[in-house]
């Protein structure tokens, strides 16, 4: 007997049955959704065939089932994790992250607009880590239609990724969309992490303009009880602005706190960024070497480029 691993159509049909009570009940619900244009018996037979599709396209009834039932919550949570920059997906080595994306970049996941959107966002994030901004932009363009009716979380992720790619060309119009989307997010953890990322973008604009005091005020707006990711962003930001304002001692303290917050949350990439900043502030070869070693282990070309460029 052929066996499938991971999430395939057999797993999807089993999930529908578990949530509805029986295969007959699933068939009846799908038939009812179309006004009984198809009798429940023929739909049930189609579902039995769908079970054998593995990870090939699901055809007409795969599309109809996804339209009625959507993706399982567990699958949605997994692909969202793959697509979010502030998840610990970005703390995996790039090659392993690519393997995970490939494993999920197939039906039934990719026959759902939600699944396709998050996979595209994950691929864009991975391309950014590889310093391939053209590929990242292409993934975001491909996701545009699927994102039209996506959750605020997915749309925010796309906005922030697009703003990063446009950071040298004044991404203000993109960032202006963020507050309204943040207001739609109920999960306090997600909202805090996304707000910290938005603050980082806004502060970057202020710092480029030389207004380090305004950037500092933005970072100080991130609360002390925010998640570890957000606290790491806050203290890294404060380290940079205090350094630029000539307060080296306080700047170094903030950089160390950022590294601690990142470590507490398991955010390896953010820890490397904080150590790299500390190395710039106090010209610490050991901190720089540690940051470079982490970046190499993560196979992160973007971070390696930042750590090895001329100190400024």
CB-based contacts of 79, cutoff 8 Å, min separation 6 = 71, 104, 109, 114, 115, 118, 119, 122
- Kindly list the structural domains of the chain, giving each domain's residue range(s) and its CATH number in brackets, ordered by start: 9-70 (no CATH), 71-185 (no CATH), 192-312 (1.25.40.10)
Structure tokens at 208: 């480029």
Helices (H), 21-131: 23-33, 40-51, 59-69, 73-83, 94-104, 113-129
What are the residue ranges of helices labelled H in 169-247? Answer: 172-175, 178-182, 188-208, 212-220, 228-244
Other Cβ atoms less than 10 A from the Cβ of 1: the count is: 2
Which residues lie closer than 8 Å to 149 by C-beta, 6 or more apart?
A: 113
Q: Which residue has the tokens 């697009």?
A: 162
| CA 40 to centroid of chain Cα atoms | 40
User: Which structure tokens are listed for 255?
Assistant: 């950089």
pLDDT one digit per residue (tens) for the chain, 312 residues: 334 457 999 999 999 999 999 999 999 999 999 999 999 999 999 999 999 999 999 999 999 999 999 999 999 999 999 999 999 999 999 999 999 999 999 999 999 999 999 999 999 999 999 999 999 999 999 999 999 989 999 999 999 999 999 876 767 788 999 999 999 999 999 999 999 999 999 999 999 999 999 999 999 999 999 999 999 999 999 999 999 999 999 999 999 999 999 999 999 999 999 999 999 999 999 999 999 999 999 999 999 998 987 554
Q: How far apart are CA 155 and CA 98, in angstroms?
A: 22
pTM: 0.92
The DSSP code for 187 is -
């Amino acid at each position: 007997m052929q066996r499938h691993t991971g999430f395939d159509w057999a797993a999807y049909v089993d999930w529908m049955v578990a949530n509805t009570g029986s295969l007959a009940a699933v068939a009846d619900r799908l038939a009812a959704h179309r006004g009984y244009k198809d009798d429940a018996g023929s739909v049930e037979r189609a579902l039995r065939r769908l079970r054998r599709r593995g990870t090939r396209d699901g055809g007409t009834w795969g599309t109809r089932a996804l339209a009625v039932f959507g993706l399982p919550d567990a699958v949605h949570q997994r692909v969202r994790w793959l697509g979010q920059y502030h998840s610990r997906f970005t703390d995996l080595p790039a090659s392993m992250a690519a393997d995970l994306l490939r494993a999920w970049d197939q039906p039934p996941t990719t026959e759902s607009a939600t699944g396709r959107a998050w996979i595209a966002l994950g691929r864009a994030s991975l391309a950014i880590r590889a310093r391939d901004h053209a590929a990242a932009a292409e993934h975001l363009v491909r996701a545009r239609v699927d994102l039209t009716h996506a959750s605020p979380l997915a749309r925010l992720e796309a906005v922030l990724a697009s703003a990063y790619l446009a950071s040298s060309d004044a991404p203000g119009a993109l960032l202006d969309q963020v507050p309204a989307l943040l207001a739609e997010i109920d999960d306090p953890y997600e909202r805090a992490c996304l707000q910290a990322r938005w603050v980082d973008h806004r502060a970057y604009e202020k710092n480029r303009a030389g207004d380090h005091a305004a950037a500092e005020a933005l970072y100080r707006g991130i609360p002390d009880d925010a998640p570890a990711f957000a606290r790491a962003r806050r203290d890294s930001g404060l380290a940079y602005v205090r350094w630029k304002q000539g307060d080296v001692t306080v700047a170094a303290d903030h950089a160390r706190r950022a590294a601690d917050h990142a470590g507490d949350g398991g955010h390896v990439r953010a820890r490397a960024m904080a150590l790299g900043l500390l190395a710039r502030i106090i010209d610490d070869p050991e901190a720089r070497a540690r940051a470079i070693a982490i970046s190499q282990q993560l196979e992160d070309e973007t971070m390696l480029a930042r750590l090895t460029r001329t100190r400024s």
